[in-house]
């Protein structure tokens, strides 16, 4: 039987405003690299690999602080966001309400960064 990768939920907030920018996942290696480099690293469940935030887009997250919850299964990263956090071009991944109303503004064009969307 193959053991499932242990992942921690990672809540990412702007270090100045407290705005929630995204939710991601981290394995032990992503957390270690984040601590060592000061730049946010995550585990991509969809791609099945480790990734440095901004490695393609340039929209890096410079980590200013890291907190862990009481169960040690979730982390909170306070970051200085360079560009947008969302691959759809918005500053935050939480740019729309549940009814579909878009409340955020695009800060970059995803086609320019990724070539497609």
SS3 of 13, please? strand
pLDDT for residue 116: 61
- Distance (Å, whole) CA 20 – CA 64: 15
Average pLDDT over residues 108-117: 82
- On the question of pLDDT at 99 being above 80, the answer is yes
Give pTM, 2 decimals: 0.89
Quick: pLDDT tens for 76-92.
999 999 999 999 999 99
CA angle 33, 35, 37 (to 5 degrees): 65
User: Percent of the chain beyond pLDDT 90?
Assistant: 87
Residue range 8-114 forms a domain whose CATH class is alpha beta
- Distance (Å, whole) CA 77 – CA 63: 7
């Amino acid at each position: 039987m193959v053991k499932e990768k242990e992942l921690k939920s990672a809540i990412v907030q702007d270090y100045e405003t407290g705005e929630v920018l995204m939710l991601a996942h981290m394995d032990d290696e992503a957390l270690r690299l984040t601590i060592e480099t000061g730049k946010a690293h995550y585990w991509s469940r969809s791609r099945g690999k480790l990734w440095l935030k901004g490695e393609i887009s340039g929209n890096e997250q410079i980590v200013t602080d890291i907190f862990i919850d009481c169960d040690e299964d979730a982390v909170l990263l306070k970051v200085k966001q360079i560009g947008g956090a969302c691959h759809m071009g918005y500053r935050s991944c939480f740019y729309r309400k549940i009814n579909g109303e878009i409340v955020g503004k695009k800060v970059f064009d995803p086609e320019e960064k990724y070539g497609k969307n």
